[in-house]
Amino acid sequence: MRKQIVFRFFRTRFHGRREKHVFVMVLSFFFFPVLAFAQDPSFLPPGQTHPANLDPASPAMNKNLEQEKIEQLIRARRYPEAYHLARRFQKAYPEDLNAFYLLAYIEKKAHFLRRGYLTVEKGRKIAPENIDLGILEAEILIEQGHLRKARVLLMHFQKTHPENTVLQKDLVKTYFPTGYDANIPIMDQHLFSLGEIQSPFRPDQFLTASLPRWNLNISALGINYSGGAAFVGDAQFESPMAGGLRFLAGRTEYMGFVSGQGNGLNSWTYAGIDTRFGEHADLQVDAGDNSLERAGLYAHLFYNPGILTVDVQGVNNMIWGDFGQAIQLNGLESGVTVSGSLQLTNRLSMGLNYWYYEYTLDDGSLPYGNLHNAFGFLDYQLTSDPELDVLVGYDDWTIMASSPQTAGLVPEIMRQQYLLVALNAMKQYDNGLLLSGQIGGYDDFYNHIASGEGSLGIRYPVSLHWSLYGNALYFEESTLYSGPSEELMLGLNFLF
């Protein structure tokens, strides 16, 4: 009979060093408590207690007492003592999976990832299909930066445990790096004027693509700025992945409001396919018609073999939905967004993003101009739980309008160069609740404008079948609109 580990730990991500001579000292500084072990009576299932028929002097009772002592020390954050007892416990019971898990878990929390990996590997040689040891090994691999290897391991266990929420949460981490890039999906693509509201990003979209489920996602984004407002609503239905393909169909509604000039409506109805290339690439292609009776295309390529992430999105004849004026004047956009990031160390990453878009008005008959935008950044992770990151970036933005008269039809900033500094925060709880936020400021030395910005985000899996997410963003002086701006996105995701 296969052995099973009967307790669960609070799971989180850490990065760290492996120097042996500071091991005990590092342990004493960690403050992340373990939430529960099954041997703690307060966490046992209702009606269950510790075995009462064991002789207090029996080996089984002594074993239980030793394990309880280790768990109590961990809950009391007395990690050096817990580590020494866990090592002795594992040597005394070399075939016990709980002993391997306890020791590897403490080593993981102390950032001694190599030690933890070797310990959990020994346990998996005894029980290779034990999901608890498998998930722990994957989490260690994630912290070491071996995302592809961790993903393969988690997807193996997903086949036999498709409803395991801890596994699902860890699988998401293998598709996204840390820091700035990890926070972007929880907020929205408008951060730093990305200008991609026509296809709102859904949290966990790569996870849901791999699940054998039907998926319905409903989202709404509202933007308010000086002189107008825009609203974008999207509903998308997706099939399960089968034969390497996933089919999807949806509709996006655009509403633009212009102060003193009424409003406008547009829409985009589409269908497409999504396919995987190996274990680390995903391609989605959509085609459809907009309300201006023009065929449109959307493509999204995501590539993440490990420490490198590349994301490319392209559009052709899509509704220009960033501005109420653009929606009212039947604006269209075509262009490409290229984003890349590289994990330099466990804590430091860098990235470069580039956008090129062509805008037209009056159903394509009136050229508006071209956008060239480049944004580079460095991200340094201060802490792991909650995840705190300092972001420093530089942005160069240029709109080449066809004429001054045309430029005045849509209140888009024509030229800006700014330095940005921001603090990102993200905290994920054991029940799946994820909270994120950002506060920062920028100095536009081209226009001689200094401004602040802030945002908050939330994602909560209400059950295994549906979740909700949302975010809010405020700019004191927008980097896209003239003056202040506010944005709010809300969404629901259903799995069938």
Q: Is 5 a domain residue?
A: no
Q: Higher-confidence residue: 297 or 205?
A: 297
- Average pLDDT estimate for 229-245: 86
| 281 and 168 part of one domain | no
pLDDT higher than threshold 50 for residue 486: yes
Which of 134, 156, 173 terminates a domain? The answer is 173
| 413 and 475 part of one domain | yes
Q: Is 12 a domain residue?
A: no
pLDDT higher than threshold 80 for residue 123: yes
The average confidence (pLDDT) of the chain is 78
Q: What angle do CA 74, 348, 103 make, to 5 degrees?
A: 20
pLDDT value of position 165? 79
| 400 and 474 part of one domain | yes
458, 197 Cβ separation under 8 angstroms:
no
pLDDT higher than threshold 90 for residue 171: no
Of the chain, the end-to-end C-alpha distance in Å amounts to 33
Among residues 32, 14, 1, 2, which one has the least CA distance to residue 131? 2
pLDDT value of position 367? 95
pLDDT higher than threshold 80 for residue 169: no
Convert the pLDDT of each residue in 241-271 to its tens digit. 777 788 999 999 999 999 888 899 999 999 9
| 163 and 205 part of one domain | no
Q: Does the N-terminal peptide bond of residue 411 adopt cis geometry, omega within 30 degrees of 0? A: no
Residue with tokens 């998996």: 124
| 461 and 320 part of one domain | yes
- Average pLDDT estimate for 357-383: 92
| 125 and 268 part of one domain | no
Q: Is 186 a domain residue?
A: no
For the chain, what percent of residues have pLDDT higher than 70? 79
pLDDT band at 126 (very low <50, low <70, confident <90, very high): very high
The whole domain housing 251 covers: 198-495
Q: What angle do CA 136, 142, 146 make, to 5 degrees?
A: 120
Q: Is 464 a domain residue?
A: yes
pLDDT higher than threshold 90 for residue 361: yes
| 26 and 136 part of one domain | yes
| 329 and 387 part of one domain | yes
Q: How far apart are CA 322 and CA 444, in angstroms?
A: 21
| 268 and 346 part of one domain | yes
| 282 and 368 part of one domain | yes
pLDDT band at 327 (very low <50, low <70, confident <90, very high): very high
The count of structural domains within the chain is: 2
pLDDT value of position 30? 41
pLDDT higher than threshold 70 for residue 181: no
pLDDT value of position 212? 60
Lowest mean pLDDT among 12-16, 381-385, 486-490: 12-16
pLDDT value of position 448? 92
| 134 and 261 part of one domain | no
Q: How far apart are CA 128 and CA 98, in angstroms?
A: 14
pLDDT value of position 325? 94
Q: Which two tokens stand for residue 230?
A: 């825009």
pLDDT band at 60 (very low <50, low <70, confident <90, very high): low
Lowest mean pLDDT among 41-50, 389-398, 479-488: 41-50
pLDDT value of position 143? 80
CATH number at residue 117: 1.25.40.10
| 106 and 211 part of one domain | no
pLDDT higher than threshold 60 for residue 50: no
pLDDT value of position 59? 64
